[in-house]
Structure 1
Amino acid sequence: MVIKISYGFKVDIFVSTAVPLRCAAEYLEMTEDYSPENLISKTERFLSQFVFTNVRESIKALKACESVSSLAESLGVTEQCIDSIVSKASLTDPSSFYGWPMNNGGIFAVDRKKQSKDSKTELWFEDLTDLSFPIFRRVILTMKSRDLNPEIVERSLISYAKKHIHRITRSSSPSSSSSTIASENQQRELLETITSDLPITETTTRSLFGLLRSAIILNTSENCRKFLEKKIGSNLEKATLDDLLIPSYSYLNETLYDVDLVERLLRRFLENAAVSSSSLTVVGRLIDGVLGEIASDANLKPEKFYYLAVLLPAQARVYDDGLYRAVDIYFKTHTWISEADKEKICSVMDCRKLTVEGCIHAAQNERLPLRAVVQVLFLEQLQLRQVITGTLLTEEDGDETVVDLGRWKDTVKENQVLRLDLDSMRTRVNQLEKECLYLKKVIVKIDKESLWSIGKKFGCKFTTQVCDSHEATMVDGRSRRFL
């Protein structure tokens, strides 16, 4: 192209060739002293009129600077491109990034129906991902030095990571637009640098989980992972159940999901003294959902399940039905755990927070320990008495309070339903007590037969004594409680 220009041929200048031509013209000293409208003046005019006025064209020109980096730096073209990009980016409205970044492929899922023609020019941050990382980071540092909107900085960083770090999404396939695949060490260094450049302000939670998942797989520094965990934990109420179900990538963990990570994130969330009650309730439902998902893991130890469940404060759960569901699934899967472990896990539940449906199911649940069933029945009886007492006519200061007839009928119906439920619960308790008595009789019979056979063998006689005092006391106490 330079030779054609030297011989007077007309040559079209494009964005991709403008910077190399400018550098070549400088090297060949093609100034106005030798010819009017020489190559230096032509390329400079093209850059100022067609490149530096548009952010996407400036990014393409900056990409071209990489092939002639030394000359482009000395001429100041690289700095001009970066300055143009940052200046135009400051005018961008972050809300114009439709649908970012929702797909698993690593680029961007844009809703074409909602996206206007004008907003296409504001997807310039896609072009930034084509830059080499040293040049890209110079752009980011310039953005931060000029106090650009943190959301623009954040989205530029995470979009770059999504393209060049292939494990950042749940899809294991690399981006189709990536020409080369960076090594694991390069991806680790890239991720640590991007994480350190993230704005301190709020970041998209789903994007942070993607970065954290990659940080775990690539085994980044502890500071990098702690930084991501802290940012996620401070906004845990914005996470989803799918976000928290991160597979356990370490061979040291036997569980399917990384339960320790969930526990650390929850601790980070609870460290924030300014947590609102609504956020706490949302996180409570989220953790109960996690417990329900991990409960079916056969390798999940009882103490691990217990510590995650008990970590939530009492006010985080309005109802304990979600927790009860998780406990029931855990008992169903882990039939080998002891009664002591079952009672310890059940101690996390507050039976007073169970709904009517939850109470009925718990009272008939054979997997629950007997103490938990009795506690549910006892609370049901108390609630029944309170309802009955509340419906009676009361007298205060000698004046009678007349209860509305329609309300009285509804209350009577509720009482009848509660009485039926209580009867079924009492029947269940009686069945459990009969089963216990039957098992004890079987044990006594087995002991007698074994001792008789031993005595016959050795010519000795033994007598078997069984103390039923505790049994009688327990049964009588239960009977008196529910009379």
Structure 2
Amino acid sequence: MSSARRCAARGQAWFCTTGLPSDVVFEVQDMSFHLHKFPLMSKSRKIHRMLMEQEEEHPALRQRRRREGGNAGEEGASQTEIEEAEEAEEEEEQATEEGHTYCIAFPDFPGGPGTFETAAKFCYGVRVELTAWNVGPLRCAAEYLEMTEEHAEDNLAARAEAYLEQTVLRHPGEATKALNSCEELLPHAEELGIVDRCVEAIAVLSSAASRSWFDDLAVLGLPMYKRVMAAMAARADVRTEARESCLVSYAKGTIPGLSRSMRRRLASAPVSSEVEQRELLEAVVASLPTVKGSGRVVTAKFLFALLRTAHILRASDAARAALERKAASQLEHATLEDVLIPSYSGATETLYDVDCVERVVRHFLAEEELGEAVASTSAAITEEAAAAATTTSASRPSAVAMVHVGKLVDSYLAEIASDGNLKPAKFCELALALPDHARVYDDGVYRAVDIYLKAHPRLTAEERDSVCRLVDCRKLTVEACTHAAQNERLPLRAVLQVLFFEQLQLRRAITGTLLASSGAPQARHHRHQQQHRPSSAAARHAVDAGEAWRSAAVQDSQVLLLDMDSTRNRVQELERECSSMKRAIKKIDGRGSAAASPRSADAGDAEEAAADGSSRPASWRSRYGCKFSSQVCDSHARNVVASQASRMGMSP
């Protein structure tokens, strides 16, 4: 059978060109189907019943049509314009002379004209190919037209049902396509149980099947997606990883702009408005697992992308708060690109949303504090509750995760430091949010501070000091100390602290080298004695151990003396350097006078201190935060050495 289409005055028409004139017209929405009654009556009980009812009323209809036709002819003789406009009625009158034409209207036909056309072809004996997309509409159409086995063998309802059970419901991807086709078939598909069977098939097969079908979920509307996720959550045999994969695939396929690097949306995914996208995003957030997963599927990149999109779509505060808490659970796996969330609110002047990142960091720290509290109380609970406490504390961020977060925050600070609208208080607040053990070295925060000072040259002295106090000079590497000692943007106090702690690091390194070089031969000798010591000489071994301990104590005291002498000498050098700096500052300010020839370093310091006390109320030491004193350091060093020497039985 072949078909042809033409346009008439009352819309589109579909004709069956079998060589015989059509005797029945079906009106399905805006389409007219000119068909033959016998093929359709043989397959559809409903069409058979409706045509038989019209057949019984045929004589009265024919007489009424003839009267209407006569009146129309008389009016047409006087109004030729109306005759030209009613060509379709003249064709129908011509068909009426040959045989009566029946008319049946299906305004609510499931699946629309396309499905009715396929069902009509099936009635004419044309081979119909069933797919996951059309099996649902054809099953509903067969039920609507009563094309069942009771009326005719091998009918459309049986074929569609067999294909649905044997092919569609055995694969989650095919069931997803059929479920999508049912969205426009409600309530017919719901009454036939097609929707429930497809949803259950997806939930049952989601864990066993491969992940290739996950992208098919993007074709589902929000109501059907919620039903699928609810069915998967209700089943205990569905793995959490499968649920997370379905969630991520649906979000990436339906929410545009979710990824910076891969802005893709499936061609079959419906295009939604901003309100619909906001509703989709909030539904995805509500479907996120409550417990912390492995992070392989619901990754930190995905969570921060959702958070960024939530800001763009102006999602609800509850949804954004939930996303911030979920992102905090994966913060140790995030990258700098993930946390760079642009500020879309007109209330903030900064380029990036610093407040959002700070809230995420504080959620991370709160989770760690909760984990530490559980771990501290786990020793006092019973053995039955110990397993539950271990499970709870297992999700606590580890020390390694804390270090990763520290590096991430330092990188973020360096990135936002160049923003001219970033206030010093906000910069310091985020930097101080992390505890001390989050940073092994302060090189990262020093780099951020240096960038901030360079981008904000008009800071007050107080603001500059507060920013520089973020850096712990004791945790700077040698490279960072070298850079800081020559950094003109740092205040003098900060430079002095860097120089002082750099010397302390150098001293510790020298001390460690001396201990290692002196302790290695003694350790080798002690191991050699243990290897060759007879088993029967236990008492003699105890005496040797005591002598070895005394020898080690004497050696430790000697190293301590060297250490204290080195410290005293270095403090004196720093005092002389400070004195030189003080004289240079007085010359620059124009308030100093020609320096007298120093008799000695200590005498010169005393005279300058007296002169400074007479000229200014506050000394330069209090102004620049330097609190070194050669007398105090010397006496303290001597007391320590003397006490150590007295305990060891040695003279200083």
Within 5 Å, give how 1:333-344 maps onto structure 2.
333-344=455-466
1:254 to 331, 344, 349: 349
Residues 58 and 85 in structure 1, CA contact (< 8 A), matched pair in contact too? yes
> Is residue 179 of structure 2 the alignment partner of residue 62 of structure 1?
yes
Alpha-carbon distance in structure 1 between the residues aligned to 2:128 and 2:268: 32
> Alignment partner of 1:82: what SS?
helix
Deviation at 1:428, TM superposition (A): 8.4
- 74-83 or 470-479, which deviates more: 470-479
Deviation at 1:178, TM superposition (A): 5.9
- Alignment correspondent of 2:501: 379
Residues 153 and 198 in structure 1, CA contact (< 8 A), matched pair in contact too? no
Q: Residues 167, 76 of structure 1: CA spacing in aligned structure 2 closer, same or farther, 3 A cutoff?
A: same
> Is residue 126 of structure 2 the alignment partner of residue 4 of structure 1?
no
- Alignment correspondent of 2:482: 360
- Alignment correspondent of 1:123: 212
Residues 55 and 85 in structure 1, CA contact (< 8 A), matched pair in contact too? yes
Alpha-carbon distance in structure 1 between the residues aligned to 2:130 and 2:204: 24
- Alignment correspondent of 1:151: 241
Within 5 Å, give how 1:17-166 maps onto structure 2.
17-92=134-209, 122-147=211-236, 148-166=238-256
Alpha-carbon distance in structure 2 between the residues aligned to 1:373 and 1:29: 92
- Alignment correspondent of 2:271: 181
Q: 1:224 is matched by which residue type in structure 2?
A: A
> Alignment partner of 2:219: what SS?
coil
Within 5 Å, give how 1:198-209 maps onto structure 2.
198-201=288-291, 202=293, 203-209=298-304
> Is residue 323 of structure 2 the alignment partner of residue 228 of structure 1?
yes
TM-score w.r.t. the length of structure 1 is 0.78
> Alignment partner of 1:90: what SS?
coil
1:347-403 Cα offsets, whole Å, 9 max, x none, are 222211111111121122111111111112222333444555663879997637999
Q: 2:160 is matched by which residue type in structure 1?
A: T
- 9-18 or 169-178, which deviates more: 169-178
Alpha-carbon distance in structure 1 between the residues aligned to 2:266 and 2:163: 33
Q: 2:177 is matched by which residue type in structure 1?
A: K
1:41-99 Cα offsets, whole Å, 9 max, x none, are 1111121222222222222222222232221111111211112222211313xxxxxxx
- Alignment correspondent of 2:586: 437
Q: Residues 41, 469 of structure 1: CA spacing in aligned structure 2 closer, same or farther, 3 A cutoff?
A: closer
> Alignment partner of 1:257: what SS?
coil
Residues 364 and 428 in structure 1, CA contact (< 8 A), matched pair in contact too? no
> Alignment partner of 1:153: what SS?
helix
1:369 to 466, 483, 491: 491
Alpha-carbon distance in structure 1 between the residues aligned to 2:412 and 2:341: 11
Q: Residues 13, 400 of structure 1: CA spacing in aligned structure 2 closer, same or farther, 3 A cutoff?
A: closer
Q: 1:127 is matched by which residue type in structure 2?
A: D
> Alignment partner of 1:69: what SS?
coil
Q: 1:268 is matched by which residue type in structure 2?
A: H
Residues 218 and 269 in structure 2, CA contact (< 8 A), matched pair in contact too? no
Q: Which runs of 5+ in 1 are unaligned?
A: 93-118, 409-414, 445-465
> Alignment partner of 1:348: what SS?
coil
- Alignment correspondent of 2:305: 210
Q: 1:123 is matched by which residue type in structure 2?
A: S
Q: Residues 43, 429 of structure 1: CA spacing in aligned structure 2 closer, same or farther, 3 A cutoff?
A: same
1:283 to 405, 428, 439: 405
Residues 16 and 60 in structure 1, CA contact (< 8 A), matched pair in contact too? yes
Residues 164 and 178 in structure 1, CA contact (< 8 A), matched pair in contact too? no
Q: Residues 64, 397 of structure 1: CA spacing in aligned structure 2 closer, same or farther, 3 A cutoff?
A: closer
Deviation at 1:159, TM superposition (A): 2.2
Alpha-carbon distance in structure 2 between the residues aligned to 1:397 and 1:209: 59
- 237-246 or 389-398, which deviates more: 389-398
Deviation at 1:162, TM superposition (A): 2.1
Within 5 Å, give how 1:396-415 maps onto structure 2.
399=551
Q: Residues 380, 187 of structure 1: CA spacing in aligned structure 2 closer, same or farther, 3 A cutoff?
A: same
Residues 168 and 178 in structure 2, CA contact (< 8 A), matched pair in contact too? yes
- 429-438 or 197-206, which deviates more: 429-438
Q: 1:298 is matched by which residue type in structure 2?
A: G
Alpha-carbon distance in structure 2 between the residues aligned to 1:477 and 1:128: 69
> Alignment partner of 2:186: what SS?
helix
Q: Which runs of 5+ in 2 are unaligned?
A: 1-117, 372-396, 520-546, 560-565, 594-613, 635-652
TM-score w.r.t. the length of structure 2 is 0.59
Alpha-carbon distance in structure 2 between the residues aligned to 1:477 and 1:179: 70
> Is residue 454 of structure 2 the alignment partner of residue 332 of structure 1?
yes
Alpha-carbon distance in structure 2 between the residues aligned to 1:199 and 1:224: 14
- Alignment correspondent of 1:452: none
Alpha-carbon distance in structure 2 between the residues aligned to 1:13 and 1:50: 10
Within 5 Å, give how 1:389-400 maps onto structure 2.
391=514, 399=551
Residues 253 and 266 in structure 2, CA contact (< 8 A), matched pair in contact too? no
Deviation at 1:177, TM superposition (A): 1.8
Bigger Rg, structure 1 or 2: 2
Deviation at 1:7, TM superposition (A): 3.2
Q: CA RMSD in A?
A: 3.5
Deviation at 1:222, TM superposition (A): 1.0
1:247-306 Cα offsets, whole Å, 9 max, x none, are 111111111111111110111001013232111111111111111111111111111111
Q: Residues 153, 441 of structure 1: CA spacing in aligned structure 2 closer, same or farther, 3 A cutoff?
A: same
Q: Residues 11, 263 of structure 1: CA spacing in aligned structure 2 closer, same or farther, 3 A cutoff?
A: closer
Q: Residues 434, 258 of structure 1: CA spacing in aligned structure 2 closer, same or farther, 3 A cutoff?
A: farther
Residues 166 and 172 in structure 1, CA contact (< 8 A), matched pair in contact too? no
Aligned residues: 421
Q: Residues 296, 125 of structure 1: CA spacing in aligned structure 2 closer, same or farther, 3 A cutoff?
A: same
The sequence identity of aligned pairs, in percent, is 44
Residues 253 and 269 in structure 2, CA contact (< 8 A), matched pair in contact too? no
- 149-158 or 275-284, which deviates more: 149-158
> Is residue 286 of structure 2 the alignment partner of residue 196 of structure 1?
yes
- 180-189 or 235-244, which deviates more: 180-189
1:318-374 Cα offsets, whole Å, 9 max, x none, are 111111111111111111112222222222222111111111211221111111111
Deviation at 1:172, TM superposition (A): 10
Q: 1:221 is matched by which residue type in structure 2?
A: S
Residues 62 and 81 in structure 1, CA contact (< 8 A), matched pair in contact too? yes
Q: Residues 71, 310 of structure 1: CA spacing in aligned structure 2 closer, same or farther, 3 A cutoff?
A: same
Within 5 Å, give how 1:442-461 maps onto structure 2.
none
Q: 2:551 is matched by which residue type in structure 1?
A: D
Residues 16 and 64 in structure 1, CA contact (< 8 A), matched pair in contact too? yes
Deviation at 1:429, TM superposition (A): 6.2
Residues 413 and 431 in structure 2, CA contact (< 8 A), matched pair in contact too? yes
Q: 1:271 is matched by which residue type in structure 2?
A: A
> Alignment partner of 1:85: what SS?
helix
Alpha-carbon distance in structure 2 between the residues aligned to 1:364 and 1:428: 16
- 167-176 or 27-36, which deviates more: 167-176
- Alignment correspondent of 2:340: 245
